[in-house]
Copies of this chain bind each other. A is one copy, B any other.
């Protein structure tokens, strides 16, 4: 029998003895630690920790949680324990460009994204054939009917498929503040610029105009403040001044798709801690 594995995430004000308390509780309740990653952010006095562990025959999630709750209270911890067998349901939203969608579907097919993808939604019909070739339901929504009505349609589909995370894979619609608030920290967007520079429309044109020598992409949580949500992952590529804007766009596509998948992977592995508007990604 394969034993179940779990992931515990903890964040709290820094204090002596936290790690011993956490690891002691896991050992006491019958868990075997597989991996522990921890960071004390001395600049802000915060502690972040992520522990993977396997449950032995005596381990139960209930008794662990009961035991851990007492520790958590004494250290003012924010904490979650995840059963790794439970896959998160991820809805993918797209418009007309396919490279980010393909990347997610191919990585998922290769077993490199540990989630379910129950539904793909778009404001255009163009990519329906890709959804179809991967046997995933595809829905078209219509922003032209007004933001409120259209977002209601969208959320209806998300609810129907039990979506827990929304990935904007070059989805070219700005979400309303209400939508962002309801889905806070559950929407990951790929921005095709190296944030915080070049937010908003046509970032590659902005970058070319400015004459930057390196371009990039940013995976971040969507917030009401456009392209300014907490950054999860970024990557860059050097460009020559002999490149045209079109070449920036072509070269940028490879960066975008990689960054988006890496951002989603970090979310799925519970590696992201949020604090005061920024992330701490602990790998």
Contact surface of A with B, Cβ cutoff 8 Å: 16-20, 23-24, 26-27, 32-43, 56, 98-99, 102, 106, 110, 112, 133, 194-198, 208-214, 216, 230-231, 233-236, 240-242, 244-245, 250, 253-254, 258, 277-283
Contacts and interface: CB of A to CB of B under 8 A. Distances in A.
Contact of A35 (B40, B212, B235, B245): B40
B16 A20 contact: no
Q: Is the interface of A mostly helix, strand, loop or mixed?
A: mixed
Contacts of A278: 209-211
29 contacts: A16-B56, A17-B33, A20-B23, A20-B24, A20-B26, A20-B27, A20-B33, A34-B40, A35-B38, A35-B40, A36-B36, A39-B242, A43-B208, A43-B245, A110-B253, A133-B133, A194-B197, A196-B210, A197-B197, A209-B278, A210-B231, A211-B277, A212-B231, A213-B234, A213-B281, A214-B235, A236-B236, A242-B280, A242-B282
A245 B102 CA distance: 26
A48 to B, nearest CB: 9
A23 B32 contact: no
* Pairs A-B, 7 closest by C-beta atoms: A211-B278, A16-B32, A20-B27, A197-B197, A20-B23, A213-B234, A241-B280
Given A211-B230, A213-B231, 10 more contacts: A16-B56, A17-B32, A35-B39, A41-B244, A112-B250, A194-B194, A211-B280, A212-B234, A213-B233, A241-B279
Contacts of A39: 35, 241-242
Contacts of A112: 250
Counting chain B CB atoms within 10 Å of each CB, the highest count among A34, A98, A211, A216 belongs to A211
Nearest to A133: B133
